[in-house]
Amino acid sequence: MDIAGFGFSFLILISIWFGYTNIVSVLPVETSGTMFLNVVLLFLVSIEPYLLSLVVFGSFQASRGAVLNFASEAYALDLAGLTFIMGLFSHQLTAQERKLIKPELLGSYRRIRNTQYIEAALFTITMLPPFWSWEIIGTPARFYLWYAILVFSWISRLSGKFKKRGPSPA
């Protein structure tokens, strides 16, 4: 399970990195607000693998207690923070008065921003106690919801890329 946990963490981090590089290639980072968000994002990225390891290894122990619940809440908060900050960066790109991107790309970045805000809200909701106490096959529902949110995120990004490129010739 170690390599699977690492792979899962890697997928999350690489998704954040691709989105981040796409945004900061256009977004000026010299403002104090953007610099602060960069520092917070870096911190959240750095603790993601650690929190995931607490959740993964804690879920294999015979007794799941308050420590695992706290670790999973912290992990949900970390994922919510990552996606919310990415949404804030996307929002900065969509500010029309700044004219950072071409007008034809505004709709795409707004869709990305809205998706990231929805993901952040869903990750935050999974911190609620029912998502810990409700279980599916002996595993808290919170874990399955994380997978569903991440799959939704990846599918949303892929569908956006196909819309930009248009259908491929047969």
Mean pLDDT by 10 residues, the chain (170 residues): 76 87 79 87 93 77 71 93 94 78 82 91 91 83 86 77 47
Say if CB 132 and CB 140 are below 8 A apart: yes
Contact 92/100 with Cβ under 8 angstroms?
yes
Residue 15: inside a domain: yes
Domain count within the chain: 1
**Per-residue pLDDT, 163:** 57
Q: Which domain holds residue 146?
A: 2-164
Does any domain span residue 169? no
What are the residues facing 135 on neighbouring strands? 140
pLDDT for the residue numbered 43: 96
- Would 35 be classed as within a structural domain? yes
Q: Which tokens hold the place of 62?
A: 């015979």
The pTM of the whole model exceeds 0.85: no
C-alpha 138/C-alpha 64 separation (Å) is 11
First to last CA, the chain: 40
* Residue 56 belongs to a domain: yes
CB 144 within 8 A of CB 136: yes
Sign of CA dihedral 95, 101, 106, 108: negative
Size (the chain), residues: 170
Q: Which of 118, 152, 149, 145 is nearest to 130 (CA)?
A: 145
Asked if the structure places residue 49 within a domain, the reply is yes
pLDDT of residue 167: 38
